[in-house]
Chain A
C-alpha cells in the first residue's frame, strides 16, 4: 500500500486535523500518566517527555498555542522528523483515509491570522474541514 496517499485524521479539542501517514511512526494511547511534564521546555513549546523505544522523546501540546481546551489529551501521535521522533498530544484519532478522498484548499485570506501559524491548508473530507498541520512549524527541535 502506498502510505503517502493516506492521511491520519484526528481531533485536538473540537478541531479536526490531518497529517500524512508517512510522517507517523506510531500511535500511543493512554499516555497521560506516562508523560514526564517536569521535562517541559516552554521556549520550544515542549510540554514534557514520553518514554518511547528505550529513549525519551519530546511531547508537544498545541492546545495553548491554538487556544484550545487541554482536557483529555490522552493519545500521542509519535511523528518522525530530521531531529528525531517527537510526540503530539491529541484527543482522539478518527482513522486513516485515502488522500484522494480529500480536497485540499489553501487557507482563505480572511481566515489567516498574523503571527505563528502551524497550518496553511485545509482538507475537506466528507464535507468536514480538517487542518493540514505543518509539522515542521509545530516542532522543529528549536523555539518556534
Chain B
C-alpha cells in the first residue's frame, strides 16, 4: 500500500511521486546556475532560504525534453540527501492509488518502481526517490 501519489507531466511523459515524499510544488521558480554541477543537475532553487538542487529535465527517463529547456513547475521531494526539485510542465494532482490500477512495467527503469500507475487513461512512472537519488550520486 503506497497511499496517495502526486502526479506531474514533463515533455509528454507522466510521473508520480509518493505523497509522503512530496514537499511542495513551486511555480515558475528561478533556477540559479552553479558551475561544475554534475551533468544531470540543472541548478539550484532557493526556497524558504534553503538551497534545493534542481534535476535537469533530460535526466528524467522517457522525456523528449532538451538540455536547458525551461519548465513552469518544480516538484520538490524529500530525499535522503535533502530536498530535490523535479522539473514539470504541468501538475496533474494528488490521487489515492485506489483511484487507479497498477500494471507491471514492460521495462524496468532505474530509480522507478517496477509497476506503472494507470490513472485516467495515462500511465505514470512512479519515482523510487531514494533509489533515484543514489543513482544520481553514483553517476
A residues lining the B interface (CB < 8 Å) = 14-15, 66-68, 103, 105, 108-113, 115-117, 122, 124, 127-129, 131
Query: What is the total number of residues of chain B having a CB less than 8 Å from a CB of chain A?
Result: 22
Given known contacts A105-B50, A108-B82, A111-B41, is B35 in contact with A66 (CB within 8 Å)? yes
Contact assessment for B51 and A110 in the assembled complex, using a CB-CB cutoff below 8 Å:
no
Contact check: which of A68, A109, A127, A129 meets B44 at CB < 8 Å? A129
Contact check: which of A14, A109, A122, A124 meets B33 at CB < 8 Å? A14
Pairs A–B under 8 Å by Cβ, sample size 22: A15-B33, A15-B34, A15-B35, A67-B35, A67-B36, A108-B51, A108-B82, A109-B82, A109-B137, A110-B79, A110-B81, A110-B136, A111-B41, A113-B38, A122-B44, A122-B51, A124-B49, A124-B51, A128-B46, A129-B32, A129-B34, A129-B51
Contact assessment for B49 and A108 in the assembled complex, using a CB-CB cutoff below 8 Å:
no
Contact assessment for B82 and A113 in the assembled complex, using a CB-CB cutoff below 8 Å:
no
- Total number of A-B contacts with CB less than 8 angstroms? 61
Contact check: which of B32, B33, B36, B81 meets A108 at CB < 8 Å? B81
CA distance A110 to B36 in the complex (A): 12
Which B residues lie within 8 Å of A127 (CB)? 46, 49
Most buried by A among B33, B35, B81: B35
- Asked if B105 is an interface residue, CB under 8 A from chain A, the answer is no
- Asked if B133 is an interface residue, CB under 8 A from chain A, the answer is yes
Which A residues lie within 8 Å of B38 (CB)? 110-113
Q: What string of 1s and 0s marks CB contacts (under 8 Å) between B27-54 and chain A?
A: 0000011111110010010100111110
CA distance A41 to B53 in the complex (A): 35
* Shortest beta-carbon distance from A67 to chain B in Å: 6
- Asked if B84 is an interface residue, CB under 8 A from chain A, the answer is yes
Which A residues lie within 8 Å of B50 (CB)? 105
Which A residues lie within 8 Å of B84 (CB)? 110
Contact assessment for A111 and B44 in the assembled complex, using a CB-CB cutoff below 8 Å:
yes
Contact assessment for B35 and A110 in the assembled complex, using a CB-CB cutoff below 8 Å:
no
